[in-house]
Structure 1
Amino acid sequence: MGLLDSVLGALGNGQQQANDPKALLIQAALSMLTSQSAGQATGGAGSGGLGGLLSAFEGAGLGQLAQSWIGNGQNQAVSAEQVQQALGGGHLEQLAQAAGISPAEAASHLSGILPDLVNQLTPHGEASAPAGGFGDLAGLLGGLLGGDKKA
């Protein structure tokens, strides 16, 4: 997770980010989305990573909502209840534990984070990592943590 640590460190000299539950949650979510073994680690169905997240939303009947985050159009909003429905206990519990917050708090934060996070990880409307990696993680994290947002 060295790349994520260095990006978070560059955003706030590490200290502030290390104590910020939202930053820890974003870091954990990015790790989950970029890991191909995330589904296996939690006993989830299908592959891990972004595909696993999409499968989880599809399994909860929310596939069309999650697909809006990948496409080039408007991202549909997701509620904390929908995040809890899609991620269930496994992924949500792990993310909450990594951030040091309750699963309900994690679901609330993720409802605001996931649409932009998935959108930024899929800049060309495809649910796979581009050959050069996942692009400008520093810009992405800065926006999600309250920095300048692109219009």
Structure 2
Amino acid sequence: MGLLDSVLGQVLGGAQPQQPQGGDLGGPGELGGLAGALGGLLANNGEVGGLGGLVSKFEQAGMGDVIGSWIGKGENRPVTDGQLQNALGSDVVSGLAQKLGINTATLLPMLATLLPMLIDRLTPQGQAPAEGLGDQDELLSSLSSLLHKG
């Protein structure tokens, strides 16, 4: 079981990460829904303008060093639920929670755990790719392969 499998299992109460039937990674109430929501944050065509947009949001919130640590090759700095809410904004957090059918108090700790690891794994060279992480379909494919690595 890979690291992301382990963390997702712990965060989501022991559910085993697996691709939903038919290859749909956006199914509500399944890990695919979470992958879709994360894809919406990180994809170039997502709601915050991809990784570059996410970096800008963190920088505007005075936390550029935090997201920079996730992209860079060192230790990932932690982020609190409140810091994440501040950086992303209430509208984005509420929208993600609504898409997943959970409340923000449940969503924020999941994001605080998963975003640093996912961004770290999606930027193995220690820097954000100039072209971003791809559109939502490309990113969901990357997320799926990360979730299934053993």
When normalised by structure 2's length, the TM-score is 0.69
Give the equivalent residue in structure 2 for 1:61. Answer: 62
Gaps of 5+ in 2: 1-16
Give the equivalent residue in structure 2 for 1:11. Answer: 19
CA distance in 1 between counterparts of 2:32 and 2:20 reads: 10
Give the equivalent residue in structure 2 for 1:36. Answer: 45
Q: Which amino acid aligns with 1:61?
A: G
* Higher relative contact order, chain-length normalized (CA < 8 Å, sep 6+): 2
CA distance in 1 between counterparts of 2:51 and 2:66 reads: 14
Q: 1:138 aligns with which of 117, 128, 144?
A: 144
Please list the CA deviations of residues 105-144 of structure 1 after superposition, one character each: whole Å capped at 9, or x if unmatched: 211110011001111221112212479x65843232347x
CA contact 2:18–2:31 (8 Å) conserved in 1: no
Give the equivalent residue in structure 2 for 1:25. Answer: 34
CA distance in 1 between counterparts of 2:93 and 2:133 reads: 26
- What RMSD, in angstroms, separates the aligned Cα atoms of the two structures? 2.9
Q: Which moved more, 1:18-27 or 1:72-81?
A: 18-27
Taking every aligned residue pair, what percent have the same amino acid on both sides?
37
Give the equivalent residue in structure 2 for 1:119. Answer: 120
How many angstroms does 1:35 deviate by? 2.8
CA contact 2:39–2:46 (8 Å) conserved in 1: no
Please list the CA deviations of residues 22-43 of structure 1 after superposition, one character each: whole Å capped at 9, or x if unmatched: 542332111321133523xxxx
How many angstroms does 1:12 deviate by? 4.6
Task: Report the number of matched residues.
Answer: 126
Q: Which amino acid aligns with 2:145?
A: G
Gaps of 5+ in 1: 1-8, 40-47
How many angstroms does 1:54 deviate by? 0.9
What secondary structure does 1:98 align onto? helix
